[in-house]
């Protein structure tokens, strides 16, 4: 059999993500599995560049002029309308797919957005800012070049589709131009200079307090009394390289978490200090639980500072290191103290929820071991004062909220839904029946929540963190449901728009669409409620913005696709709520400014206009769902991004 290394893989190997031997007439994999081996070749698509579109428009104008000269008595518009009524609409699908059977269409892989060049996914995030290519929410990086791979569950894939539906004449909203990130210089550190060196210890202590006041109650991955005792050198510290890295990142997150002008640059300084310990001291050539904690916190900080791929890498190292330490195993016969065993659980499950969440955010496969390979127990719902290094008898778990309650609930959430997250990245795209069945998995998780984490909890919140922990859980649940139902919603909208196609939405399609809109509405209202009744911290502000923007995009696409719907008034009111929050609650937040810019662009309406928020003023003419193929299993498969 002949083998040409320059040929593309066969269809079966591409679908199954196998390495193809590229032999003709049958490759090795197909020969072993007795499958039909077919080589479709490379799909050729027209580029969506401004130059190409200008040339097409010019050619079309010449053809229209020639048609008018040759047929002066024929009205071109009437002829086109008559042709559309008499001829069934055909989907603008590449002819290479014309002979594919229904079964093979069902197996078509997701056609993610790709950059122009082979090295287009390469990224460099040193000195990145919100005006650059990547953002930590994976929701605003419209051009794929330089951002790393972002898959179907990431918010930016949905946003790209909206901007393409906006039409070829639409310019892409950008706050800044394409920057060479390697040319950027780090933010100067302004906090520790010779003039205030005497206040160094006090400043660091203040930032450590900020970490434990604002960040630790939400993500309790380290033990506060132990850390403070180690910092004060009252007890023995861990290995120097691990301790220095952990201490630096704790201070960095503490500085980030407070809106204090005196701390400007402090977080970046200590972040770079932490990474320097990793790079210069051979820290990755050792493994201990302290280093796992440091890597997990570094990953989250990097994401918050719009270095998502950097954070992704730190998290990947943390997972591998944790497994090398056996943190995913309970080891019931190991002679560990109650406190040591509990800390192993907290570190593992803290890392688990971060890695699971990041995988969904970036549209990348969850690579964590499945629940059958993990036997370490979930953390105990016990306050710190009842479980110390000296505790010898296991205390009873609390029936009330502790800082570990949300960690336990989110760990259970991802254990139940990680298979769904990976399914959303696979081919074929999730069906309506699968989406409804998966929706029940989320509901089952929700029914198992303790009352103090319930959606309608009426008790008093004694702390800001207790309120935020509960709200964030529900925002996350609704967000995952929205991501899962988005493809079905898009299919439903496109089927409805193509009334002559003979393929109208089923009752289950419409149910999925209504559920998706319901979760978007609940998200917007819940975040508005939280923002008006609570003081937003840096952490709560970041998550609020991420979840509300995802929800608002769902409402936007429905407003534009169905401007005459009886529900458009309600959708527009929700969008108005979101825009008001962007202008008021998130005032001064550069990510919020980008989100507002995108929203205004999609709805073609300026927030300064007198008609701001009025339904009948929203421009929807540029959204042409009739030009999109209704028989594509994957609504995102038609996107081929060509940055101009």
Task: Please give the structure tokens belonging to residue 540.
Answer: 């709560």
CA nearest neighbour of 623 among 27, 281, 164: 164
| Terminal Cα distance for the chain, rounded | 43
Three state DSSP letters for 208-275:
HHHHHHHHCCCCCCCCHHHHHHHHCCCCCCCCHHHHHHHHHHHHHHHHHCCCCHHHCCHHHHHHHHHH
pLDDT at residue 88, as a whole number = 40
The pTM of the whole model exceeds 0.75: no
Q: What's the CATH number for 2-33?
A: 4.10.240
pLDDT at 641 over 50: no
| pLDDT band at residue 339 using 50, 70 and 90 as cut-offs | very high
DSSP state of 565: -
| pLDDT band at residue 117 using 50, 70 and 90 as cut-offs | low
CA distance 348 to 324: 12
- Tell me which range, 159-163, 249-253, 611-615, 627-631, is most confidently predicted by mean pLDDT: 249-253
Task: Please give the structure tokens belonging to residue 212.
Answer: 């434990």
| pLDDT band at residue 331 using 50, 70 and 90 as cut-offs | very high
| pLDDT band at residue 101 using 50, 70 and 90 as cut-offs | very low
pLDDT at 399 over 90: yes
Locate CATH 4.10.240 in the chain. 2-33
pLDDT at 628 over 50: no
How many Å is the maximal CA-CA distance in the chain? 97
Q: What are 593-619's pLDDT values in tens digits?
A: 888 888 877 776 433 333 334 333 334
CA distance 227 to 205: 12
18-27, 258-267, 346-355, 423-432: which has the minimum mean pLDDT?
258-267
Residue 241 neighbours by CB under 8 Å, 6+ apart: 277, 281, 282, 283, 286, 291
| pLDDT band at residue 535 using 50, 70 and 90 as cut-offs | confident
pLDDT at residue 518, as a whole number = 98
**Cβ atoms of residues 421 and 356 within 8 Å:** yes
CA nearest neighbour of 625 among 558, 573, 564: 558
pLDDT at 387 over 90: yes
Q: DSSP characters for 54-98?
A: HHHHHHHHHHHHHHHHH-TT--HHHHHHHHHHHS-------GGGT
125-139, 257-271, 435-449: which has the minimum mean pLDDT?
125-139
Please give the average per-residue pLDDT across 291-299, as a whole number. Answer: 97
Average pLDDT, rounded, for the chain: 78
Q: What are 432-483's pLDDT values in tens digits?
A: 999 999 999 999 999 999 999 999 898 888 788 999 999 999 999 999 999 9
Residue with tokens 């570190």: 347
Q: What are 37-89's pLDDT values in tens digits?
A: 887 766 666 666 667 777 787 788 788 777 777 777 677 777 776 654 444 43
pLDDT at 301 over 90: yes
pLDDT at 110 over 70: no
pLDDT at 4 over 80: no
pLDDT at residue 626, as a whole number = 45
Phi, psi of 180 (to 5 degrees): -85, 105
Please give the average per-residue pLDDT across 16-35, as a whole number. Answer: 83
pLDDT at 219 over 80: yes
At residue 305's C-alpha, the angle toward residues 300 and 309, to 5°, is 65
CA distance 135 to 133: 7
**Cβ atoms of residues 407 and 351 within 8 Å:** no
**Cβ atoms of residues 173 and 601 within 8 Å:** yes
């Amino acid at each position: 059999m002949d083998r040409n290394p320059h040929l593309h893989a066969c269809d079966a190997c591409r679908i199954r993500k196998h390495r193809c031997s590229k032999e003709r007439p049958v490759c090795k994999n197909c020969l072993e599995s007795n499958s039909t081996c077919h080589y479709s070749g490379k799909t050729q698509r027209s580029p969506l560049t401004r130059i190409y579109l200008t040339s097409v428009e010019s050619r079309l104008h010449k053809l229209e002029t020639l048609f008018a000269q040759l047929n002066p008595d024929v009205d071109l518009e009437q002829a086109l309308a008559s042709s559309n009524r008499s001829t069934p609409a055909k989907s603008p699908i590449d002819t290479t797919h014309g002979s594919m059977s229904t079964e093979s269409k069902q197996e078509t892989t997701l056609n993610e957005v790709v950059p122009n060049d082979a090295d287009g996914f390469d990224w460099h995030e040193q000195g990145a800012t919100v005006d650059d290519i990547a953002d930590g929410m994976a929701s605003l990086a419209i051009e794929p070049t330089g951002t790393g791979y972002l898959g179907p569950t990431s918010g930016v894939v949905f946003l790209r589709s909206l901007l393409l539906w906006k039409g070829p004449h639409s310019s892409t909203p950008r706050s800044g131009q394409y920057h060479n990130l390697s040319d950027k210089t780090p933010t100067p550190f302004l906090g520790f200079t010779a003039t205030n060196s005497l206040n160094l210890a006090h400043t660091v202590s203040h930032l450590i307090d900020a970490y434990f006041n604002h960040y630790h109650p939400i993500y309790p991955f380290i033990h506060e009394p132990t850390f403070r005792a180690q910092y004060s050198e009252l007890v023995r510290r861990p290995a120097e390289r691990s301790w220095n890295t952990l201490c630096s990142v704790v201070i960095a997150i503490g500085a980030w978490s407070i809106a204090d002008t005196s701390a400007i640059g402090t977080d970046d300084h200590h972040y770079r200090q932490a990474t320097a310990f990793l790079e210069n001291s051979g820290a990755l050539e050792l493994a201990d639980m302290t280093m796992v904690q440091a890597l997990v916190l570094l990953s989250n900080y990097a994401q918050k500072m719009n270095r998502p791929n950097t954070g992704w890498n730190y998290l990947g190292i943390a997972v591998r290191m944790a497994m090398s330490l056996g943190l995913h195993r309970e080891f019931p016969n190991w002679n560990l103290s109650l406190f040591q065993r509990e800390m192993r659980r907290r570190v593992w499950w803290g890392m688990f929820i971060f890695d699971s969440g990041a995988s969904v955010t970036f549209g990348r496969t969850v690579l964590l071991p499945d629940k059958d390979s993990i036997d370490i127990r979930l953390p105990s719902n016990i306050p710190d004062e009842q479980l110390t290094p000296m505790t010898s008898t296991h205390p009873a778990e609390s029936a009330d909220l502790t800082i570990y309650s949300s960690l336990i609930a989110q760990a259970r959430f991802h254990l139940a839904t990680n298979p769904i997250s990976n399914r959303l990245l696979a081919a074929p795209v999730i069906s309506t029946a699968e989406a409804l069945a998966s929706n029940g998995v989320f509901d089952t998780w929700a029914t198992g929540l303790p009352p103090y984490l319930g959606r309608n909890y009426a008790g008093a919140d004694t702390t800001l963190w207790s309120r935020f922990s509960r709200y964030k859980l529900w925002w996350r649940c609704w967000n995952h449901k929205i991501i899962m139902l988005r493809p079905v919603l898009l299919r439903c909208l496109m089927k409805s728009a193509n009334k002559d196609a003979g393929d109208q939405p089923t009752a289950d399609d419409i149910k999925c669409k209504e559920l998706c809109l319901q979760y978007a509405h609940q998200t917007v209202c819940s975040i508005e409620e939280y923002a008006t009744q609570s003081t937003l911290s840096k952490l709560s502000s970041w998550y609020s913005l991420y979840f509300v923007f995802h929800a608002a995009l769902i409402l936007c696409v429905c407003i534009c696709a169905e401007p005459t719907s009886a529900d458009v008034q309600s959708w527009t009111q929700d969008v108005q709520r979101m825009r008001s929050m962007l202008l008021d609650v998130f005032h001064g937040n550069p990510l919020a400014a980008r989100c507002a810019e995108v929203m205004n662009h999609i709805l073609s309406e300026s927030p300064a206009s007198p008609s701001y928020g009025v339904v009948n003023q929203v421009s929807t003419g540029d959204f042409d769902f009739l030009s999109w193929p209704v028989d594509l299993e994957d609504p995102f498969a038609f996107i081929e991004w060509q940055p101009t």
